[in-house]
Amino acid sequence: MAISLPSLPYADDALAPHISAHTISFHYGKHHAGYVNNLNGLIEGTDLADASLEQIVMAAEPGGLYNNAAQVWNHTFYWNSMAADGGGEPTGDLAAAINTKFGSFDAFRAEFTTAAVGNFGSGWTWLIKDGDSVAIVKTDDADTPLKHGQHALLTIDVWEHAYYLDYQNARPAYVAAFLDHLVNWNFAAQNFAAA
């Protein structure tokens, strides 16, 4: 069973002007698709050929197999962490958990921004469920909370290919656009309720 490239949950231009169709065409169409193709080549003819993506991530040792499998998983999660009508603040149980943990949404936003902007080099910044609470974690390169038994709620990709065509080296502007206009709090709330 080959791993397939999942469809985007929106049109290529749905996140514009905050993330352009040009960026999506490279990020999804080249980078994400490339990880899928690489992964399929790595699992072909192995004991993992019929495994699910999650099973491959959990079974893989550090190196090429893990990097490609984790990047497929991370990117799929990232696309769903955004919506054309996203941004704003969460509601319900997730909002309560954020307010309890950080004191306010503004305090959460400041800490998430600091983490994402300060994530040195390539990587990801995540909001995860931590018991009955939430936490912000950063992963380097392809690493993913899934491998560490953590329940991801949302993520922002801070590899340069995620934003460079639209923001050049202005990562803070990209992070602000993500939080103001793109973050999919409904997706995060569903993950919070299911974890």
Residues 6-57: tens digit of each pLDDT:
999 999 999 999 999 999 999 999 999 999 999 999 999 999 999 999 999 9
In a domain, 67, yes or no: yes
In a domain, residue 165? The reply is yes
Is residue 25 one of the residues assigned to a domain? yes
CB of 156 closer than 8 Å to CB of 143? no
Question: Model confidence over 68-104: pLDDT tens digits?
Answer: 999 999 999 999 999 999 999 999 999 999 999 999 9
**Is pLDDT larger for residue 125 or for residue 132?**
125
Banded model confidence at residue 1, pLDDT cuts 50, 70, 90: low
Q: What backbone torsions phi and psi does residue 167 show, to the nearest 5 degrees?
A: -125, 0
In a domain, 57, yes or no: yes
C-alpha distances in Å from residue 59, one per residue of 47, 48, 120: 10, 9, 27
Rounded to a whole number, what is the distance in angstroms from the first to the last CA of the chain? 27
Domain that holds residue 104: 19-195
Q: Is residue 11 part of a domain?
A: no
**Do the domain assignments include residue 3?**
no
Which CATH number covers residue 178?
A: 3.55.40.20
What does pLDDT average to over the chain?
97
Q: What own/partner pairs with CB < 8 Å and gap ≥ 24 does 161-166 have?
A: 161/26, 161/27, 161/31, 162/23, 162/27, 162/78, 163/19, 163/23, 165/20, 165/22, 165/23, 165/26, 166/18, 166/19, 166/20, 166/22, 166/23
Predicted model pTM: 0.96
